[in-house]
Amino acid sequence: MKPGSRECLPLDEVIKTVMKVEHDIIGFYETAGRLTRDDEVKHVFDMLLQEKRGKEPEMTRVCQSLACGSSRLEQATQADLDFLSALAQSAFYKQAGDPSELADPALQTRHHVENALKLEKDLLLFYMKFYAVSCAEHKPVFSSLIAAGQRHIGELANVKARLAHGL
């Protein structure tokens, strides 16, 4: 551990948190995809849903291969850990609301896309912070999650623009 840094999160806790976040977001995409009437939006939500479903086994394999419990986030300062803890405890990934709350299908679709975009941006921030404080051998895991998040944000931004222009 570097001088000045504190004992930090065991990797197994990090992986469990990441898996919980990914799992909870699956529920949002399942419901939003089922409720949307727009075929393009449904396709994007289904694609995101499949990617999210694929993360849990990947994270389990990573956890096992890194001997969970013995590895630590070596670069983390107390401020980093406080930030990650506050973000996780805020349950940002559950704050998109109930996708069935709006009656008008057109409003509902735009609402879902807005919420999905916010979810993916917060998730990207979450993973970028994990990347910044992680040990070298863990960086590829978070790098992969960051790259996926950037793709997701791009897809959703394109859908949002199309919906805004009524295309």
Confidence of residue 134 (pLDDT cuts 50, 70, 90): confident
Strands (E), the chain: none
Tally Cβ neighbours within 10 Å of residue 7: 11
Average pLDDT over residues 39-53: 90
- Rounded to the nearest angstrom, the gap between the alpha carbon of residue 38 and the centroid of all alpha carbons in its chain is 23
* CATH number of this structure's domain 11-164, picked from the four choices 2.40.110.10, 3.40.718.10, 1.20.1260.10, 3.30.420.40: 1.20.1260.10
**CB contact burial 108-139 (16+ within 10 A = b; e otherwise):** bbbbbbebbbebbbbbbebbebbbebbeeebe
Confidence of residue 12 (pLDDT cuts 50, 70, 90): low
| Amino acid found at 115 | N
| pLDDT score, position 90 | 65
Distances (CA, A) of 10 to 16, 39, 64: 10, 42, 13
Average pLDDT over residues 151-156: 94
Tens of pLDDT, residues 58-105: 666 665 655 454 555 666 677 776 777 666 666 665 655 555 555 566
In the predicted model, is pLDDT for residue 166 greater than 80? no
| pLDDT score, position 96 | 54
- Poorest-pLDDT segment among 8-12, 44-48, 146-150: 8-12
Average pLDDT over residues 110-124: 87
| pLDDT score, position 1 | 40
Q: Where are the domains of the chain?
A: 11-164
**CA-CA distance, 102 to 118, in Å (whole number)?**
18
